[in-house]
Structure 1
Amino acid sequence: MTLPTFDRNAAYTTRLGRAYAGDSRDLLKQLPDGSIDLVMTSPPFALQRQKAYGNLDQLEYLDWLTEFATLVKPKLKETGSFVVDVGGAYQKGVPSRSLYNFRIPIRFCDELGYFLAQDFYWFNPSKLPSPIEWVNKRKLRAKDAVNTVWWFGKTEWPKANVSKVLAPYSDRMKTLIKDPTKFYTPKVRPSGHDIGTSFGKDNGGAIPPNLITIPNTESNGRYLAGCKLVGAKSHPARFPSKLPEFFIRFLTEPGDLVLDIFAGSNTTGQVAEAEGRRWLSFEERQDYVAESVFRFMDLTSTPAELEAGYRAVKAGRELDLSKLVKQKRLGFGEAAE
């Protein structure tokens, strides 16, 4: 299946995807309706302190994000999903939480007709204590280490298969499976649920919870190495590859089309390529798009080739990486470089 075309050249092309530099609102309007299986994205958060990648205050944020969500909905297939990772924030000047991230699903569902398939929570155990004022200085709050990840469907029945994202069994569970009668006696729980002997069956793994624990600790992959090579700062708010990997495996099949409308360093595109999904990425800043080519260039590329690719994209020249993309499929739980 071919990828949709636009009124501009792609910044770069791979075997399965294309990255575009431009405003997602303009690019979304050019997509055919009913063409996207999954929009997986992490927009700039509504923080009080301005960041280098751009972010709006909480009062403006909902209107701004709703504009994108309005454009996304008709582009999704009837079985398509829209997954949005958003961080929490405090009210300005006081240790009281903003409710902006919880207003997102209410507004999307009540006004735009989305359906909230499930709420997920990404716990980043490696996150530094923040906000500094309330956590480090005054010792009034615990550190903020959880993002809300809203999974929306265009209908009540978005495509999903949790068996594609099963978690490894614990050692205790492996022992139980080997001989259920030796280690477990069926009984009725206080809640009234009769568990029976179903826990003794090997289903290939445990069903994951909607609390996803992923440390955001990548520090020496080829993306950062490439940025260092050319003297670029790198994107300051990258999410770890395991986050889009989970939802891409959960909500799509090989050959499906995945889109990131706030692509940043294009982690979503890299994971989609590794998982055999077609992909598109939209990112407004040309420098971030140029830096993201390092995610797709072959590990055998010379420093001169890496820099030439980066310079070409930064200058607005289309780059064909279809023969250079690393063809290794990521294993579940393996971080992209």
Structure 2
Amino acid sequence: MIQGELFAKVAFAYAEAENGRLNNSALYQRVGDPDKLKRKDPVGKDGQLHSLEARKIRWVQQTMKRLGLLQRVSPGVWGLSHQIKEQLHQATADVKMVAFSTTLGVAIWARSESVLPGLAPETVHLCITSPPYPLRYARAYGNPTEADFHEFICRSLEPVVKALVPGGSVVLNISNDIFMPGSPARSLYVERMVLALHDRLGLHLMDRIPWVNFSKPPGPTHWACAIQGGRKQLCVAYEPIFWFTNDPMKVRSDNRRVLEEHTARHLKLMASGGAGRDAQYGDGAYVLRPGSFGNETAGRIPKNVLMKGHVCPDTMEYRRFANGSGLRTHGAMFPTSIPDFFIRLLTEPGELVIDLFGGTGKSGLAAERLGRRWIVFEMIYEYLAGGSSAFKNFPGFEFAGMRPVSG
């Protein structure tokens, strides 16, 4: 097994080198132990003398080549390869590497479907994720198509559903800004996804929760803002968040974990002993009696609408770190407050939260702060490397760089 520390040293040696290229001699000098490099030991049946330290470094180098991170530039010279977009490296199907970890959780550079089947007997209490949107123009990390999105989601979630505890939940944040080709009519990909998750995976829809964000950039650009689009649409101000469970009667949610502060008006009403009148509304469906709302309670139950802007202190800190480290930043992140809310609502301390499309690790960060165990999967290595800075002060933090996942 390759040591994570050495793997990280080799990766960063190439990243810091001019044009991302190094000859082998320079690589050995940067990451090897000088005394061990000088030492020669017999190797193989013929007992030829070699530096075991140099062989260990070359093994890391060859592994990085197999993962698509390195390419041979010329004899004895290797450089960073760019598989998808400049400065972004995407995990292939056989890549399963630990990027960083804490006492409570681990961030894994991998496609989730390559790791999840080996998770047993571990069970999942909540999967919260924001999958790539089916955008017309794909972002740097790639996107599924609008027509195939429901297939993509079912494939991704199938191993999760198998590992979900009875009453466990799946929460998906998806886009509301997807249109039929050449038309101002919205795509029905959302409806296809909901029906497919119910019919094929047995998930029950608990709620559609709008994430309202009035600070979103105006859009859809063509149909709402551009004259050639005819100004036919309104600007989108929300994204839908879907909450599913495998067993509605055993669902593990508890709204007492997310109670909000009472309004000043309600506090005044409780202090006065409650309502002072008799009234009926809705032809008697709702009855108000003297004393109603007079009992003191711990807080008010939240409405099923989240009013949260996309600006987030954690995002700002991540961007400062990533830019300072020369890492390309993630183009679409939700604020930590989104996973924080659902983790509190749907789990208890010590339970397991996973994110299949983890990005910079916001779900893991929220889980860590709330005392939940967590696993974050992400295909783009640079996003995890940048997100790791938010975890450095938590117990047991280790930046593994790229350590193979066992099992």
User: Could you say whether these structures have the same fold, taking a TM-score greater than 0.5 normalized by the shorter chain as the test?
Assistant: yes
The alignment status of 1:255 with 2:350, answered yes or no, reads: yes
Q: 1:204-243 maps to which residues of 2 (within 5 A)?
A: 204-218=298-312, 221-243=316-338
Partner of residue 16, structure 1: 104
Q: CA deviation at 1:298?
A: 3.2
The alignment status of 1:265 with 2:354, answered yes or no, reads: no
The alpha-carbon distance between structure 1 residues 167 and 70, as it changes in their structure 2 partners (threshold 3 A), is: same
Partner of residue 261, structure 2: 168
Relative to the length of structure 2, the TM-score reads: 0.70
Partner of residue 321, structure 1: none
Partner of residue 75, structure 1: 163
Deviation per CA, 1:122-144, whole angstroms, max 9, x where unpaired? 11121011111111113221111
Q: CA deviation at 1:147?
A: 1.3
Q: CA deviation at 1:279?
A: 0.5
CA contact (8 A) 2:96 2:114 kept: no
Q: CA deviation at 1:110?
A: 1.5
Q: Name whichever of 268-277 and 85-94 sits farther off.
A: 85-94
Matching residue within 198, 210, 219 for 1:109: 198
CA distance in 2, matches of 1:115, 1:266: 27
Matching residue within 201, 205, 223 for 2:295: 201
Any idea what SS the aligned residue of 1:58 has? coil
Partner of residue 148, structure 1: 240
Matching residue within 180, 192, 195 for 2:273: 180
The alignment status of 1:38 with 2:159, answered yes or no, reads: no
CA contact (8 A) 1:21 1:289 kept: yes
The alpha-carbon distance between structure 1 residues 184 and 231, as it changes in their structure 2 partners (threshold 3 A), is: farther
Gaps of 5+ in 2: 1-94
Partner of residue 59, structure 2: none
Name the Cα RMSD after superposition: 2.2
CA distance in 2, matches of 1:236, 1:284: 14
The alignment status of 1:190 with 2:282, answered yes or no, reads: yes
Partner of residue 139, structure 2: 51
Any idea what SS the aligned residue of 2:350 has? coil
CA contact (8 A) 1:101 1:148 kept: no
CA distance in 1, matches of 2:390, 2:182: 39
Q: Name whichever of 28-37 and 16-25 sits farther off.
A: 28-37
Deviation per CA, 1:237-293, whole angstroms, max 9, x where unpaired? 111111101100000000011000110011000000000001001111111111110
Q: Higher strand proportion, which one?
A: 2
Q: Name whichever of 59-68 and 250-259 sits farther off.
A: 59-68
Q: CA deviation at 1:79?
A: 2.2
CA distance in 1, matches of 2:278, 2:341: 33
Matching residue within 229, 246, 249 for 2:341: 246
Any idea what SS the aligned residue of 2:281 has? coil
CA distance in 1, matches of 2:382, 2:226: 36
Partner of residue 276, structure 1: 371
CA distance in 1, matches of 2:379, 2:283: 52
Matching residue within 383, 390, 394 for 1:295: 390
CA distance in 2, matches of 1:144, 1:110: 29
CA contact (8 A) 2:312 2:336 kept: no
Any idea what SS the aligned residue of 1:47 has? coil
- Structure with greater Cα Rg: 2
CA distance in 2, matches of 1:260, 1:26: 14
Q: CA deviation at 1:90?
A: 1.1
CA contact (8 A) 1:33 1:74 kept: no
CA contact (8 A) 2:96 2:110 kept: no
Q: Give identity over the alignment, percent.
A: 30
CA distance in 2, matches of 1:52, 1:19: 20
CA contact (8 A) 2:328 2:382 kept: no
The structure with higher relative contact order (CA 8 Å, sep 6+) is 1
Gaps of 5+ in 1: 1-6, 300-307, 319-337
CA contact (8 A) 2:126 2:347 kept: yes
Q: Name whichever of 59-68 and 256-265 sits farther off.
A: 59-68
CA distance in 2, matches of 1:118, 1:241: 20
Partner of residue 126, structure 1: 215
Q: What is the total number of aligned residue pairs between the two structures? A: 300
Q: CA deviation at 1:72?
A: 1.2
Partner of residue 13, structure 2: none
Q: CA deviation at 1:185?
A: 2.1
CA contact (8 A) 2:208 2:240 kept: yes
